[in-house]
Chains A and B, each alone.
Chain A
Amino acid sequence: DIQMTQSPSSLSASVGDRVTITCRASQSISNYLNWYQQKPGKAPKLLIYDASSLQSGVPSTFSGSGSGTDFTLTVSSLQPEDFATYYCQQSYGIPFTFGPGTKVEIK
């Protein structure tokens, strides 16, 4: 299985801050990397697919980059509604696996 790791596991930030979350795969996955946002009690929501493509309806404050084994999700200006847990997911090989999540909290 392809193992996904994320760092940090949690972070505290303020509204307006620039936030970067890192995801690393245990082997090269090309650009088959997706990002989701999950709020408490809700289903995950797709933000970014194929490493850098913004899902329709997602604010342009979100962006993704990377290829191979190292990827980043950046929120250019954190908004109150962005406080949530973020997961990466590889879609390169079965079983498709998710990272353990990064919780973004209000400072």
Chain B
Amino acid sequence: QVQLQESGPGLVKASQTLSLLCTVSGGSISSAGYYWSWIRQHPGKGLEWIGYIYNSGSTQYNPSLKSRVSISVDTSKSQFSLKLTSVTAADTAVYYCARSLNKYYDPWGQGTLVTVSS
């Protein structure tokens, strides 16, 4: 059974870069047809899709974040990563990684809270 686990700093200073890793276990990150995604949830709010990467390295991003976001994959480590540059308080959120098939998400990681401090 595939499991995902986010890791990374829980506190990032404003204007710096947020970097998170998602480690995939119990299955291959190279499996055909699966996309590896990042989604965030602002405190007490709804869900926002950030972007995804396919194991070939092709990516798609939310246009609202596209200038600041990059997602990469390391198949040798069964990991994919998120980088978000020039963060502000508005980027404070719980960040989830998830596997997607046909653009629906299952399973999800447990989520990690990232707070942007001034």
Count how many pairs of residues, one from A and one from B, have CB atoms less than 8 Å apart in the complex.
53
Is there an interface contact between B102 and A96, defined as CB atoms closer than 8 Å?
no
B26 within 8 A of A: no
Is there an interface contact between B104 and A91, defined as CB atoms closer than 8 Å?
yes
Task: Take A43-B111, A94-B60, A95-B64 as given contacts and tell me if A55 and B106 are in contact as well, using a CB distance cutoff of 8 Å.
Answer: yes
Task: Take A97-B49, A98-B47, A99-B46 as given contacts and tell me if A34 and B111 are in contact as well, using a CB distance cutoff of 8 Å.
Answer: no
**Interchain CA distance A32-B101 in the complex, whole Å:** 12
Is there an interface contact between A34 and B104, defined as CB atoms closer than 8 Å?
yes
**Interchain CA distance A42-B105 in the complex, whole Å:** 15
A50 within 8 A of B: yes
Residues of B in contact (CB 8 Å), total 20
CB under 8 Å from chain B, chain A span 29-87: 32, 34, 36, 42-46, 49-50, 55, 87
The contact of B104 among A43, A89, A94, by CB within 8 Å, is A89
> Smallest Cβ distance from A69 to chain B, in angstroms?
18
Q: For A97, what are the chain B residues with a Cβ–Cβ distance below 8 Å?
A: 49
Q: For B47, what are the chain A residues with a Cβ–Cβ distance below 8 Å?
A: 44, 87, 89, 98
Is there an interface contact between B108 and A44, defined as CB atoms closer than 8 Å?
yes
Q: For B48, what are the chain A residues with a Cβ–Cβ distance below 8 Å?
A: 98
The contact of A49 among B63, B104, B109, by CB within 8 Å, is B104
> Smallest Cβ distance from B62 to chain A, in angstroms?
4
CB under 8 Å from chain A, chain B span 80-118: 96, 98, 102-111
Is there an interface contact between B49 and A95, defined as CB atoms closer than 8 Å?
yes
By CB atoms of chain B within 10 A, which of A32, A46, A96, A99 has the most? A96
Nearest-CB residue, chain B, relative to A36:
B105
Is there an interface contact between A91 and B102, defined as CB atoms closer than 8 Å?
yes
Q: For A100, what are the chain B residues with a Cβ–Cβ distance below 8 Å?
A: 46
**Interchain CA distance A53-B96 in the complex, whole Å:** 24
- Chain B residues packing against A (C-beta within 8 Å): 46-49, 60, 62-64, 96, 98, 102-111
Q: Name 15 interchain pairs, CB-CB below 8 A, sorted by A.
A: A32-B103, A34-B104, A43-B98, A43-B108, A43-B111, A45-B106, A46-B105, A49-B104, A50-B102, A89-B104, A89-B105, A94-B62, A96-B49, A98-B46, A98-B49
